[in-house]
Structure 1
């Protein structure tokens, strides 16, 4: 589980460090979180599904509010270190965590990969799900990028 993260040292190097990963699924949850939080995860691997996995892991370990905080601060940091620092969108990120939480409450899955198999719509119809909760105008507003705006069409719970 995520809480059992070991610290890295010269005598205890990370086994994934020298590997060439081509997909985030090649990391264990612990390795994935560690690489993400240290911003050493290849940005090409941090796709939409990896964002969902991040939310799932944080929700499993910290509950909704702390998962939102960690997801937002983590993605902002990752964007600054690995990108241009201009891609983070608060409302989309918070809404994503809330959507993952909604489906976790219905899930029988013990792993992220079983979870996403159980609810593939999060992966393949994410924009459509967001559209059930928000009008399109919300996402183009500058306020929504910086501050969380609650759904204006249908609440999450």
Structure 2
């Protein structure tokens, strides 16, 4: 399945959940970036909305993490595809402390990084 089909199936809540793993998350983010012509703000909003809806549909809303998803979209928009594919956690750890990502508000909405700013992302640290 190509990335745009993956996006359509997630948005329609029709994707087999076994196909949505870390690689699927990255592919979905790339599809959102593609359809938004590289605009990280639009891509992040679409990707987060799609995954949140899909997770809710699967009765797994507690598994969705808004900040992680948006940060990954923004890092992918900055061209860090290989790094994200290899070790997304390490990429996130450069920008966010474990405590910041563990905070309940980071799951519910985007929280600015507390270590290093994300590329192309407005907003103060912390």
Alignment of 1:39-58 (within 5 A): 39-58=13-32
Q: What is aligned with 2:2? A: 28
Native 8 Å contact 2:66 2:107 kept in 1 = yes
| Structure 2 unaligned spans of 5+ | 120-126
Q: What is aligned with 1:107? A: none
> Aligned equivalents of 1:84 and 1:133: distance in 2?
26
Q: What is aligned with 2:124? A: none
Cα RMSD, aligned residues only: 1.4
3-state SS of paired residue (2:61): coil
> Aligned equivalents of 2:90 and 2:61: distance in 1?
26
TM-score, normalised to structure 1, is 0.69
Matching of residue 125 in structure 1 with residue 99 in structure 2: no
Runs ≥4 residues deviating over 3 A: none
Write the deviation string for residues 17-62 of structure 1: whole angstroms up to 9, x where unpaired: xxxxxxxxxx023322221111111111100111111111111221
Matching of residue 145 in structure 1 with residue 107 in structure 2: yes
Q: What is aligned with 1:23? A: none
Q: What is aligned with 2:48? A: 72
TM-score, normalised to structure 2, is 0.85
| Structure 1 unaligned spans of 5+ | 1-26, 105-115
> Aligned equivalents of 1:96 and 1:142: distance in 2?
18
Change (3 A) 1:33 1:135: same
Alignment of 1:56-135 (within 5 A): 56-62=30-36, 63-103=39-79, 119=82, 121-135=83-97
> Aligned equivalents of 2:59 and 2:90: distance in 1?
27
CA positional deviation for 1:124:
2.5
Matching of residue 37 in structure 1 with residue 11 in structure 2: yes
